Chain A
Amino acid sequence: MFKHLFKLIWNKRKQNFLFLSEILVSFLVIFAVFSFLTYYYQNYSKPLGFEYKKVWSINYDNGLLTKNNDSLAIFYDNLYKSLKAMPQIEEVSYTGGNFPYSNSNMSTGVNFHGKKFDHVNNYMVGNDYKKVLDVNLIEGRWFLPEDAVTKNKYVIINETLKKEMFGKETAVGKLIGNYDDKEKMKIVGVVQDLKANGDFWPAGNAMFNQLDTGYLKYNSYILVKVRESADATFESELYKFMANTMKNSIEIEHMDEMRDSKNEVTIIPMVIFIIIASFLIINVALGLFGVLWYNINKRKGEIGLRRAIGASGNAVSYQLVMEAMILATMSLIVGSFFAVQFPLLNVFNIPASVYVIAILLSILFIYLLVFACSLYPGKQAAGIHPAVALHEE
């Protein structure tokens, strides 16, 4: 049966060539779309790792502050106390510029037993950062104020980095080297991943450092967790207070709005991409449908003859659908050959599972598409009356 179908296909290779290339290109487009979607979905389904609602960020210009470390420490300590004393504010923490949903990134490398881990997000965090963002600890503990004076610097790492570095072993208490492996840092805790770049992006490797007095002169962000009672009136009071304290420019942003705009940057291009891809696919589907329909009308004689020698209507329509499916399979083999290179070569550093799922989904999609497009023409062929068809011939 299959041998016969292949012979039929081979006899019309010239006509089928365009059909094949069309399916091939559609497969590649669909593969790209599904890769994106799978990647985003995999990330989306992971927990966020922190709480963003009711958190505001205050960005201040530190240009006019003194650069003296001791007076700065006193200044910031007083500022912390004044903010904490406001009834609408629950928690306050200083933070480096790369807090979640900000557009800032800071990364470094770390070493462990001679192995280097690059692109580790490096967060500078105050002691109350955990309370402000409600970060979940998995192992160990969070920073304590007295940690600032220890011999080895204390750090906290995230789950992903822990898994890469230690696998199933415990991480707390281990010493790791900094970017050039000169200084040692001691891990005191492991936290759940924080998806800091929005819902659709992975957390990546991350390391948290305690924000000490030496860093204060570079610092220009405060995160505050506010209570339900905090409204716009309070915000403008807070703004005035900060502007008076800093004598320089201030900006207050709400983390939930920052999250929305961060997600939008991913969603809008994705929606445009999906719209374009679906138009392309509708276009291709109509084209396939048209070509199949035409081909079957042209083969009336052959089909009529088959019916006349006893083939049932179902058998005829099965044959035509199978022919289309075999053609699709040929294209898919070529397409999969290209697509498989992505996980094999580890393109864009995306987990192989994303590509594998995307390939499977695309194959399924193309089969469904071809099946749907050949179903009606196949059924029409089954309805051909042998006497009429042969008379025409």
Chain B
Amino acid sequence: MLKNYFKIAIAVLKRRKFFTFISLFGISFTLTILMVATAFMDKVISPDYPDYKRERSLYVATMEFKNTKEGWLNRSDVSYYFFDHYVSTLKTIEKMAISTNAKASNAYVNNKKIVIKYKYTNADYWNVLEYKFLEGKPFGQQEINNAEKVAVISEETKTAYFGDAKTVVGQYISADNVNYRVIGVVENVSETLYNFAGDMYLPYTVSKENYKRPELMGGYNAVLLAKSKADVPKMQKEFDQMMKRVPIPKDFDKVYSNADSFFASMTRRIAGDGTNNGLTVVVSILSVFVLLFLLLPTINLVNINITRILERSSEIGVRKAFGASSKTLVYQFIVENLILTFLGGFIGLLFSFLAIYLINDANLISNMRLSMNFMVLFYSLIACICFGLISGVYPAWRMSKLNIVKALKAQ
């Protein structure tokens, strides 16, 4: 049966080449844009180098003070003191990676300016996050305690600063007029990973700012790693419990900080605040946007499908006259439409590969490498099916209501 439908579908597609072209164009370009968008979302959301342990991690990035009476609000990154003094007492935390946000500084080599974004980190940073070391090794507790001027640099910085030198471990790199000894080179991190991208990683003890200052706000953020996935809710609860013990700063009456899952920490930054993680807002805005975007190609496809189906009224009339039920006919047309959609999807896939290649090549976002993985393919398959069904159901329904006598008379 399916084989028959397939044959009919191909014959119909061949008959009116112009209409086939319009349908395929609409489907393939819509899916291309959806796929590229999915690839981008996938890059941002799913675990990626070097942050692979998202399942058992929670992210702490903001501290918020509120004065509810006056309506004052202070929001900032978190202090080292807060992590060291409060968060490190939590029992469910296995390890905690603490780092500052990347700050830019300049280095001058051979009359060329290099912008180096540096981050201060603790020793466990290297145990929680799985940076790939191309040479050398990370700094440990020993180097941190001694406040040694050692640096882990990115591959990009290595090429920019040392040229094509084979190995740079043991050499010195000068930034902010301080010479740091390079002890490791790591693979570049995509800038979409805001918290982990940097050109140079240094022990926090060499930071010129006073990291011991007993304040809650500062320039740090942290990844809390639980022993297992099951421990994560427990860890979150313990963190919230601990927040109740944190003294409220002068002039304010509320203090908020949250340990969020990766996605929630992102939506909180975009649309949330201390009490609301912004997840629903971001997800609904995204869905509305996708729906609106799909609306136009879908209406267009429905329009064209109706035209095509009415053109075949004689065929429908004959089939009905010989006893085919409406259901069979609807089924046939939906299958035909799905075949067309998959064909468009395949072309769209080729276009997406091209688009992704071009985007990667242009390096729009520093070190971001989009890729087509199984997840992206799976989502595009779902998109294909939805698209095919939506644009096929209404025309099929219209067609099945066609009166036999009328349909045959049209001939």
Interface residues of A (CB under 8 A from B): 15, 18-19, 21-22, 25-26, 29, 61, 63-64, 231-233, 235-236, 239-240, 243-244, 247-252, 268, 276, 279-280, 282-284, 286-287, 289-291, 293-295
Contact = CB atoms under 8 A, between A and B. Distances in A.
Given A63-B209, A284-B296, A250 B106 contact: yes
A337 B306 CA distance: 29
Interface string B122-166: 000000000000000000000000000000000000000000000
A354 B242 CA distance: 52
Interface of B: 18-19, 21-22, 25-26, 29-30, 33, 103-106, 108, 111-113, 115, 176-177, 208-210, 293, 295-297, 299-304, 306-307, 311, 364
A99 B258 CA distance: 33
A63 B219 CA distance: 13
B401 to A, nearest CB: 11
Nearest to B302: A18
B306 A279 contact: no
Given A287-B303, A290-B18, A276 B293 contact: yes
B103 A249 contact: yes
B300 A287 contact: yes
A290 B17 CA distance: 11
A291 B307 contact: yes
A357 B271 CA distance: 32
Nearest to A19: B303
Contacts of A280: 296-297
Nearest to A59: B104
Contact of A61 (B29, B111, B208, B297): B208
A283 B302 contact: no
A294 B208 contact: no
B304 A29 contact: no
Contacts of B297: 280, 283
Contacts of B25: 282-283, 286
Contact of B105 (A19, A22, A25, A251): A251
A280 B297 CA distance: 7
Interface class of chain A by DSSP: helix
A284 B296 CA distance: 8
Nearest to A294: B307
Nearest to A279: B29
Contacts of B177: 239-240, 243-244, 250
Given A25-B295, A243-B176, A283-B26, A232 B113 contact: yes
B256 to A, nearest CB: 23
Contacts of B29: 279, 283
A283 B176 contact: no
Contacts of B364: 268
B303 A18 contact: yes
Contacts of A287: 22, 26, 300-301, 303-304
A297 to B, nearest CB: 9
B304 A291 contact: yes
A11 to B, nearest CB: 15
Given A240-B177, A276-B33, A283-B29, A250 B105 contact: yes
Contacts of B104: 251
A239 B112 CA distance: 13
A191 to B, nearest CB: 30
A231 B21 CA distance: 57
A21 to B, nearest CB: 6
Nearest to A237: B108
Given A236-B113, A249-B103, 17 more contacts: A18-B302, A22-B296, A61-B208, A232-B112, A235-B108, A236-B108, A243-B176, A248-B176, A249-B208, A268-B364, A283-B22, A286-B21, A287-B26, A289-B22, A290-B307, A291-B304, A294-B307
A21 B394 CA distance: 15
A249 B301 CA distance: 59
A248 to B, nearest CB: 5
Contacts of B33: 276, 279
Given A232-B111, A239-B106, A290-B18, A248 B303 contact: no
26 contacts: A19-B303, A25-B295, A25-B299, A61-B208, A64-B208, A232-B113, A235-B108, A239-B106, A239-B108, A240-B177, A248-B208, A249-B103, A251-B104, A251-B106, A251-B115, A279-B29, A283-B22, A283-B26, A283-B296, A286-B22, A287-B304, A289-B22, A290-B19, A290-B304, A291-B303, A295-B307
A249 to B, nearest CB: 5
Contacts of B21: 286
A18 B19 CA distance: 17
Given A232-B108, A233-B111, A249-B176, A18 B208 contact: no
A265 B277 CA distance: 26
Contacts of B26: 283, 286-287
Contacts of B306: 15, 18
Contact of A63 (B111, B208, B295, B303): B208
